[in-house]
Amino acid sequence: MSLRARSTQLLDAWARVWDQREDPVVLAVIRVLVASVLLFDFWWIAHLGIVDVLFTPQEGGGFPDVMSRDPVPELYRWFPSSPSTAWAAYGVLVGALVCFGAGFLTPVSGLVAALVSAQLAQVLPLGDRGIDTLLRNVLVVLSFSACGRRFGVDALLFGTRREAPAWPRHLLILQLSVVYFCAGIQKTALAWTPLGDLSALFLILQDPSIAAFRFDWLSKVYPVTQLATATTMVFEWSAGLVPLVYWFRYTRTRPGRLRAWFNTHRPLRGWVLLGAALHAGIALTMSLGIFPFAMLALYPALLHPDELQRLFGRQDRAPQPRREPDTLAS
């Protein structure tokens, strides 16, 4: 086969991988969960009474020294550095998130939420964590999806869609895999390894800024923390295999013992349960705010829409003829 023919074949295969179609119901569920988590976080800020001090420049009485930075965020280049501006941005963001969660003008409301959140992140970078970046990534991806056409006002206004591009869900799977795998490979401190006695979680839980409670007694169950450290590393490193699991599913009719093993034993289920347990552990022992809940809000992406509907005992439409999963096999 000529190089040109081979290249064309590869490009066709690449296009087919990303050009699959499915019910956007999973994306709709993620839309609602992500909006709920973010709305809770922003409601909590208002509940604590710190909207103005978090997002107003020091000239207006807040924490951020934003006006001396280069570049100054557009929010305070275009509007006065006062608490009113901070409250206005907060109001726009919350309004956009409510619309996004309700699936109302979803592409616009999602992008507005991401852009205003990005402005607030620039105003107070120290207060913006990795989870906020991740959720903005998700907002942008969902804004370009049909997530508002299921369980949303957009579905009422413009019609429900039962088939839409699947690439946004596939990107979210890739994103989850990258988050965990990169977190794993960057854990280069010896404390995460047997060379450092797998002491990482024990040490982290002694940090008064991180721990949810005092863990003075933790030395009595030190081996449990070592086991949890090792489990965390196994979970995060194995996240690199998640795309492979989906690839094996996609090409399930091809030969290969590894492919057959993955498709028969479904190790992804165990991995998902381990991830849920890890985040439950974080939620119970660490003071990391929305982090564990926001991560779990993305887990539905790991389910095919049919799997999700089976999970809830619903199959409210005539089964669609399934596209041959091994279209790349040729």
Partner 1 sequence: MALVLGVEGILAAPIPHAMKRSSLNEPIAREEIAAQVQLLAGLGVTVSSDQLADALYESGAAWAAAYHAVVDPVEPLLRITGTGQGWGLFTYPDTYPHQLVVDVRRSHSGPFVMLYGGLDPEHDWKRDVLAYRRVRGVYDGQTAKPGASWNNLTKWLAGEACAEDSLVTAVRVSFTRFHTVRPGQAADPGEPLRHARTWSCSQVRR
Applying the rule CB under 8 A, the residues between 127 and 166 that interact with partner 1 are 127-130, 132-134, 136-137, 140
Site for partner 1 (CB under 8 A): how many residues?
75
Q: How far apart are CA 192 and CA 202, in angstroms?
A: 10
Q: How far apart are CA 202 and CA 220, in angstroms?
A: 11
Q: How far is the CB of 54 from partner 1 (least distance, A)?
A: 6
Q: How far apart are CA 30 and CA 101, in angstroms?
A: 9
Q: Which of 78, 79, 158, 213 binds partner 1 (CB under 8 A)?
A: 213
Q: Are the CB atoms for 31 and 310 separated by under 8 Å?
A: no
* Contact status: 60 vs partner 1 (CB under 8 A): no
Binding to partner 1 (CB under 8 A) within 288-307 occurs at 288-291
Residue closer to partner 1, measured from CB, 186 or 315? 186
Residue closer to partner 1, measured from CB, 38 or 308? 38
List, as one string, the DSSP characters of 182-249.
HHHHT--SGGGSGGGTT-HHHHHTT-TTTBSS--GGGGGGHHHHHHHHHHHHHHHHHGGGHHHHHHHH
Q: Are the CB atoms for 102 and 152 separated by under 8 Å?
A: yes
Binding to partner 1 (CB under 8 A) within 25-44 occurs at 44
* Contact status: 186 vs partner 1 (CB under 8 A): yes
Binding to partner 1 (CB under 8 A) within 214-233 occurs at 214, 219, 222
| Amino acid, single-letter form, for residue 54 | L
Binding to partner 1 (CB under 8 A) within 61-80 occurs at 61-65, 68, 74
Q: How far is the CB of 322 from partner 1 (least distance, A)?
A: 23
**And the tokens for 64?**
């951020």
Q: Which of 10, 156, 185, 273 binds partner 1 (CB under 8 A)?
A: 185
Residue closer to partner 1, measured from CB, 200 or 303? 200
Binding to partner 1 (CB under 8 A) within 93-132 occurs at 114-115, 117-119, 121-122, 124, 126-130, 132
Phi, then psi, of 123 in degrees rounded to 5: -65, -45
Q: Which of 90, 100, 151, 167 binds partner 1 (CB under 8 A)?
A: 167
Q: How far is the CB of 126 from partner 1 (least distance, A)?
A: 4
Q: Which of 10, 48, 273, 329 binds partner 1 (CB under 8 A)?
A: 48
Q: Kindly give the interhelix angle for 106-123 and 83-102, rounded to the nearest 10 degrees.
A: 150
Residue closer to partner 1, measured from CB, 125 or 256? 125
Please list, in sequence order, all residues whose beta carbon lies within 8 angstroms of the beta carbon of residue 262, skipping any fewer than 6 positions away. 244, 245, 248, 249
* Contact status: 197 vs partner 1 (CB under 8 A): yes
Q: How far is CA 238 from CA 82, 156, 184, 235, in A?
A: 47, 41, 9, 5
Binding to partner 1 (CB under 8 A) within 247-276 occurs at none
Closest listed residue to residue 232, CA positions, set 181, 160, 196: 181
